[in-house]
């Protein structure tokens, strides 16, 4: 099998030594090319070229942003259409970032060496898992997307992103972004099939659980969401301090069950439509996509085969 290893050398937990060990191990089972990314969008371009060239496997070694780019590159030729996914190369993941939400949701070890061993065993025995993904407009996402507060946090973190990115930076930025909007944010209108529109202040869309991690602690919003179901929606109609503190506390519990009068929550959705009164930030898998006024979030079952 021909394979490509895509390495982000700027990711938090990637090192030249780790890259070499991974490449050597993979080369024992596949015909391997190794590409180190040099700029944003590079991993996407490499994966798209690999798919067009009939490569059988693309391995992403980096954080969730690297994985997201590789996924978008692999699926670039499908346009989200059913029946187009059989020819897409398989995806392998060796975590190298600070959160690694997608890899952890798949049950992969956080340690790159251990994850490499899992990948090699799966290749040896032919183990692969089909996973459902989400689309936010034209952009695929693997575990979450959002408009509003969380996207504002991502936008500000990206201005300071580097090897030192971690949970403390996200926490500080989340508090800072919240305090800068004491009177609330641009209203968002959520539309679900067969239901009346609901106006909210922030909206989170999940493709699996947990929504994210705070260090080792999972942050839970839609606990019933998985790669085998539709999308989860978690939205708040108010960002008043009591509401925010209540749901932050619930999200960090081991068995999170969100309740509250300001909460709009659904599981297993095929489509979620969100419209803003003005341009707002959109994030997917922890990366800023840009600003949008309208986004349709669509669930795409069995979109990709992951070696795990």
51-70 pLDDT, tens digit each: 999 999 999 999 999 999 99
Residue 184 has pLDDT above 60, yes or no: no
For the structural domain made of 141-301, what CATH number should be given?
Answer: 2.60.200.40
Higher pLDDT, 267 or 160: 267
> 93 phi and psi, to 5 degrees?
-130, 125
H-run or E-run covering 200? strand 198-200
Q: How confident is the model at residue 181 (pLDDT cuts 50, 70, 90)?
A: low
Instruction: Report pLDDT digits (tens) over 195-241.
Output: 999 999 999 999 999 999 988 889 999 999 999 999 999 999 999 98
Is residue 84 scored above 80 in pLDDT?
no
Tell me: pLDDT of 165 over 80: no
Strand 31-36 with 57-62, pairing? unpaired
2-127 shares its CATH topology with 141-301: no
Average of pLDDT values for 248-273?
A: 92
Q: Percentage of residues in the chain with pLDDT exceeding 90?
A: 73
Please determine, for residue 136, whether its predicted confidence score (pLDDT) is greater than 80. yes
Q: Rounded distance, CA 239 to CA 110, Å?
A: 33
Q: Is the dihedral of CA 13, 16, 17, 18 positive or negative?
A: positive
Q: Which candidate, 89, 60, 93, places its Cα nearest to that of 75?
A: 89
Domain ranges (residues) in the chain: 2-127, 141-301
Position 41 pLDDT exceeds 60 = yes
**pTM of the predicted protein model:** 0.92
Check residue 173 and give its pLDDT.
Answer: 81
Q: What is the pLDDT of residue 219?
A: 93
Please give the Cα distance from 55 to 29 (Å, whole number): 14
Write down the CATH number for the domain with range 2-127.
3.40.50.10330
CA distance 38 to 94: 19
Q: Is 70 exceeded by the pLDDT of residue 95?
A: yes
Asked if residues 47 and 70 have their Cβ atoms less than 8 Å apart, the reply is yes
């Amino acid at each position: 099998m021909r394979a490509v290893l895509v390495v982000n050398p700027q990711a938090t937990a990637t090192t030249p030594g780790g890259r070499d060990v991974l490449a050597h191990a993979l080369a024992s089972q596949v015909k391997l090319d190794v590409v180190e990314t040099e700029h944003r969008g590079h991993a996407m371009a490499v994966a798209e070229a690999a798919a067009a060239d009939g490569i059988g496997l693309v391995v992403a070694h980096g954080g969730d942003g690297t994985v997201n780019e590789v996924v978008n590159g692999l699926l670039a030729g499908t346009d989200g259409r059913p029946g187009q996914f059989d020819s897409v190369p398989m995806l392998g993941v060796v975590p190298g970032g600070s959160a690694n939400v997608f890899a952890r949701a798949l049950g992969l070890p956080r340690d790159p060496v251990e994850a490499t061993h899992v990948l090699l065993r799966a290749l040896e025995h032919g183990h692969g898992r089909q996973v459902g993904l989400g689309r936010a407009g034209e952009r695929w996402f693997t575990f979450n997307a959002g408009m509003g507060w969380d996207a504002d946090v991502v936008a500000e973190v990206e201005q300071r992103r580097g090897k030192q990115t971690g949970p403390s930076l996200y926490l500080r930025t989340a508090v800072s972004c919240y305090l800068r909007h004491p009177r609330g944010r641009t209203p968002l209108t959520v539309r679900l099939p067969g239901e009346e529109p609901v106006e909210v202040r922030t909206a989170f869309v999940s493709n699996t659980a947990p929504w994210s991690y705070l260090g080792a602690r999972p942050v839970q919003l839609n606990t019933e969401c998985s790669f085998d179901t539709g999308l989860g929606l978690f939205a708040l109609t108010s960002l008043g301090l009591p509401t925010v503190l209540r749901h932050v506390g619930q999200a960090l519990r081991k068995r999170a069950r969100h309740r509250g009068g300001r909460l709009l929550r659904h599981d297993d959705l095929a489509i979620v439509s969100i419209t803003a009164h003005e341009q707002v930030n959109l994030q997917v898998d922890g990366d800023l996509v840009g600003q949008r006024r309208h986004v349709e979030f669509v669930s795409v079952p069995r979109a990709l085969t992951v070696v795990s």
